[in-house]
Structure 1
């Protein structure tokens, strides 16, 4: 109890034994002050005087209203406009989470978001409109992130989300849901409808970097890639200069050509992306040929994908690298974005 009271009164931390000794001394010091001054002396006053003169621990003590002190602590921890964590508070948690990921050998993913053309909102509609956009984006992040995720306003119109114990696949899926919701945001301000969108980058520990600074830089580079490809996009970090980042996927895949009555062929998948899949096959196919793929899932069921051949390359091993773009899933036509999200979610 003494340890807690002292920390509350003077923001100093002691061991339990030292705290009790100091507390007894403060009570005696308060009595001496009361006898000397001829009036009552509060324990807060006695504690400050004790730690300033008897046992100097306070170099430059100041009086502050406790409610104001709590408000100051809150403002240092929380962004006043969006209610998200401040950059400083986030950095502390980021270091802790990455240390925990290293200690337990877990994945951690970082998403870096930046609003598109935010300066135009301020210039055309005023800074209050810009503030409203930031508030609503902050609200989306708070509502759409998972309970364990950590969201922060990193600065200006930049936002960061840390996803503990999340690999790069799942980080992309979490990020897509938030990214898509922000891109549908419309701010109604002074009779105007202001459309808000953002670009984003995704990087993961330990795949892309093993420290906080490196992970921020990787996610920022992926963000720049999204901006350079027309904005409104969410990109995975990769050293490769591709529109879609490839992810390794080594599985047996059953393929069948839909152009002819062909027997099934067992092939090997090499990697997968948001746009398609690369397989190794003993047979060659013409560009544009539609192939049906059966990909085994974790629950021992199969996922059927129909793709169009967009690349064929032969190697010395008499195997062909066949690149396919996604067309449909389980014989049902669907958008490429929905298909890619489903595939990544099933294979993650």
Structure 2
């Protein structure tokens, strides 16, 4: 016998599924929330402004979430999910553990959005908006983001391990990775400019300083004076969680990163290799001379990367760390 309770649960489940399907089939577009949550982008930026004042490094950390999210099965906030008894999340993946930080910033943004318009703005879109704002608030370009993503129902630590590049990666490997996502050499170099702000750990450069390519010697591409600075920052017995600036102006989004690469002062091997490799060098040189060219190319690359989607089912999470509780049918008549 179908009871009123059964009918209500079935109705709610149908509404949930229709909502999920309608969002999943829609195209990403600017002003996606103009009617359902018109203040969404203002709310995100307001929180990011407060975070910038509170801890500037957090802004840089949040900006890189877009990279670590979108490259692993599309831009779906899978990287924000905590582990569960039946799922290993991506936070402890090799490229993320002890590296990704400031997840609490996304929690703060989500809480503010849930107060204004509950159940409307996806965590995946929050990452996209917050990444844009991190750039704009630190002196970089501003742009209209395309929105309308769904949040994934699961995460995949193995995929994250297999996809995300190591700080040891060379330009050839990076080019191949980006090409897998229809991102060009130009996109690769411009998007690497995300390292214009923020810091990285000594762990990521110890091999460059003391055993490049197994030689027992430092990377010859490092400027000698800069190497002395790095040796002082990261001696052989250092706590490898000590951090260093990714470029000479770590609080300002500008083209100093590329100037540093030209001068042999790139912090990470995966950065300096962009100047060493012939296919990427011309773009490094161009962006070191022309900040506007860099900004334009960076925006283009961020938009292209933001369009990566897996096509898998999704939802709008209420808590970015957890999937929503699913509607369930009653197990017996009553």
Same fold (TM over 0.5): no
Between structures 1 and 2, the one with greater strand share: 1
- Structure whose alpha-carbon radius of gyration is higher: 1
Which bin holds the TM-score, normalised by the shorter protein? under 0.3
TM-score (norm 2): 0.25
Between structures 1 and 2, the one with greater helix share: 2
Higher relative contact order, structure no. (Cα contacts within 8 Å, ≥ 6 residues apart) = 2
TM-score (norm 1): 0.24
